Every structure is written in C-alpha cells, then in structure tokens.
Amino acid sequence: MSEAGHADWDERHRGKAAGDAEPFLLAMLPRMPRGVALDVAAGRGRNSLALARAGITVVAVDYSAEAMRILAATARAEQLAVWPVVANLDNFHLKDKSFDAIVNINFLDRALFPNFARALRPGGVLIADTFLIDQAAIGHPRDPRFLLAHGELRALAGGLEVEEYREGPVIYSNGERAFRASMLARRRNSN
C-alpha cells in the first residue's frame, strides 16, 4: 500500500473508540481456550479487548499505526494483556503451533487460512466471521474479493474440525443488517 493509502487508513481510525465486539465472538468466548490469541486485522481492538477482558492474552495485528495506538491506550487504561503490533499481514510470519486461538473478523485474505491452521496449537480454535456474497446487495463491502461464497468459509477451515458454522442474515442490536458467515473450528489434539 502506498504512503497515501496508509495515511488514509490511519485517518479512518483517528479519534474513534474501539466499539463493540462482534456478537459471534462473544457467543464463542466460553468455548475458547485461555492462553494466547491472535486478533488478525484488529483495527481499534473491539475484539481484542473482549478477549483480554475474558482472561486471554492477545497479540493484536493491524496495518494501521493509529488503530494500534488507540488499542494500546485502552488496554493500558484497563490493565489488559494486549500487545498491539503494526504489521502488513502479507508478510507477517505465523510460527507453527504458537497460538491457542486466532480471531479473524471482517477481514478476508483466503491465502492466510492454511497459515492459521498451522499456527494453532493442538486444541486451539480459529474463529472467523466475515461477509457473504449476499452483502453486496445491501451495502459495504461490495467487492467480490472480500466476500465469501456460500460454503466457502467451511472449505477454508482445511484440516480443522468445524464445531460451529453459521451463514445468512444477521441483525445487530442497533437494527443494522448484514449477510455473514461465521465459524469456530478447532485443531485436533493429534495434529
């Protein structure tokens, strides 16, 4: 991404609060192992903060330095175990068997999913939740590169055991609607 593009991305976050965690993540929290989680494309940290408040240590990765500054300030104020990392996920190395959980919300890079599976410790979970192709008819995003086909998220789980899978319309507490695919998948203990 160009410097101008990077500055635009930072500006999108400037002066904004973290926001509320994704409802699917909140519903899956009791099923997640306590340990170290990676929050992919964490933004201002709405999901990272929910994980940390539940007693999970979080490594939050995002391209935006401004978003990571906002997250760091909130985590510091609440004395939460969150380590913000500014990085481009295109070249962010994930060490094999290094995380107990990986959370990937509203970010779609299909090439990362095999890396997620390898980076999970045995018994670790991948929580993925993003937009379906149907979303293009009602709002952002509309670019098909960032929208899942029906059944695609399950296929992206690779060798992980899918324990929870949902597809379809979601209505948020504020009345907004979205078409989403949501999954909790676990790495088997024998892998």
Q: Could you give phi then psi for residue 30, rounded to 5 degrees?
A: -65, -20
Summarize pLDDT for 38-52 with one digit per residue, the tens.
Answer: 999 999 999 999 999
Distant-in-sequence, close-in-space partners of 26: CB < 8 Å, separation ≥ 6: 50
Confidence of residue 102 (pLDDT cuts 50, 70, 90): very high
pLDDT at 5: 55
How far apart are alpha carbons 64 and 39 in whole angstroms?
A: 14
Confidence of residue 23 (pLDDT cuts 50, 70, 90): very high
| Residue range 4-20, pLDDT digits in tens | 555 666 566 466 665 78
* 3-186 CATH: 3.40.50.150
Q: Over the stretch 148-186, which tens digit does the pLDDT of each residue have? A: 999 999 999 989 999 999 999 999 999 999 999 999 999
- Counting beta carbons within 10 angstroms of the beta carbon of residue 15, is it exposed (0 to 12), middle (13 to 18) or buried (19 or more)? exposed
* pLDDT tier, 3 (very low <50, low <70, confident <90, very high otherwise): low
